Structure 1
């Protein structure tokens, strides 16, 4: 298959994370919340209305992540599905992953499904993929210091503070709180999800299959 992630499924209680396809884009754009800040590094199109340009940027990012995928630098976009409806996006990314075994993550949800604990289930899903199937050793994340909801998800998963940095955003400079989680701490906390369809994806992460340095996860490729 040209893009094996279409068959990847991560089931975390009521949340299903699956490889995002172009067929999901209309629903994803419908769910796009007004308070989601786009990457300040993105080019903006001055001749487009701001709401239209935000949607263009989202689609462009999805296509960019596919087109620039490398075992050494990747970003996996997963559709968040609840009760058969796409309600958000969960991403997992790695830089120099076969060497550093470190992943980062980011996500967003439609406003009408917030407050149900879905973000916790989404993060548990991608951490299960990273730690139990890809051989990751460290997971990091970051959030603005005033984003209490995002930081609460990280702390609930067992992340610990890992320093502050200052960054520019569309609404001005803000401080970011960085957090860090080890595989050992993750396993002590439990909360794994069910993962299927991962084996065809492993070479794309530089795991076996003759693409990049081999990484050997410590458990079998399927969790039940």
Structure 2
């Protein structure tokens, strides 16, 4: 897309491709949500969106992602990448920031369909966006978080070098939920998998950056 090069941005790892979603991607992503993301007895999300009735969930998910893309601004951006494995959309990995050109700080979030969990794909897809942030965009820090009863997500963070950064207390589904906040410094990150970034240079203004701003990142491809 000539006037919105973000749709040409691709991150690739040995098993995955991450890209901004097309309408067909969102349709397939809704299938993964219907198939299940987590045990119904637990809620890993601050907003319990997976509780929506089955006949409402697909439309709600698609509208949400379209809204995310429509609100993109250079000083307030949100990459809602779909994760593709063996030609199939299997989940979401996001990367977001506000006033990034000043703060050089990003945050991440993600989910995978249950059938694809426990295979190391969560680590691989987060490593991909961290590589984009640190090597491509010149980020200095990255934040994440997970409820203390979500050992899988916390394990991904631990493997990638995050350190504890305090806790927050929330109300989720009428219950107390404790979030472990996490922080990763650029110098502490080494990707466990090779990551290639394609099509980044024309996207830099959409991240609030010039080529000079990102010059301390990796070579652009």
- Interval of TM-score (by shorter of Structure 1 and Structure 2): 0.7 to 0.9
Deviation at 1:192, TM superposition (A): 4.3
Bigger mean CA deviation after superposition, 168-177 or 199-208: 168-177
2:134 is the alignment partner of 1:136: no
Tell me the residue number matched to 1:202: 204
User: 1:99: Cα distance to partner?
Assistant: 1.0
Assess, with a 3 A threshold, how the Cα gap between structure 1 residues 168 and 3 changes in structure 2: closer, same or farther. Answer: farther
The alpha-carbon distance between structure 1 residues 217 and 147, as it changes in their structure 2 partners (threshold 3 A), is farther
Distance 1:150 1:122 in 2: 12
**Superposed CA offset, 1:144-181 (max 9, x none):** 11000000000100000000001122363300000000
Please state if 1:161 is matched with 2:164.
yes
Q: 188, 192, 195: which is aligned to 1:193?
A: 195
Give the gaps of 5 or more residues in structure 2: none
Aligned-residue offset at 1:7: 1.4
Compute the RMSD of aligned alpha carbons: 2.2
Match of 1:24 in 2: 25
Deviates further, 51-60 or 152-161: 51-60
Residue 34 of structure 1 deviates from its aligned partner by 4.6
What secondary structure sits across from 2:55 in the alignment? helix
What TM-score does the superposition give when structure 1 sets the normalisation length? 0.87
Report matched runs for 1:108-147 at 5 Å: 108-147=111-150
Normalising by structure 2, we get a TM-score of 0.88
Whole-angstrom distance in 2 between the partners of 1:164 and 1:38: 16
- Work out which of the residue numbers 204, 214, 217 in structure 2 matches 1:216: 214
**CA distance in structure 2 between the partners assigned to 1:196 and 1:112 by the alignment:** 28
* Worse-matched range after superposition: 101-110 or 28-37: 28-37
SS at match of 1:51: coil
Contact kept, 8 Å, 1:206 with 1:215, in 2: the verdict is: no
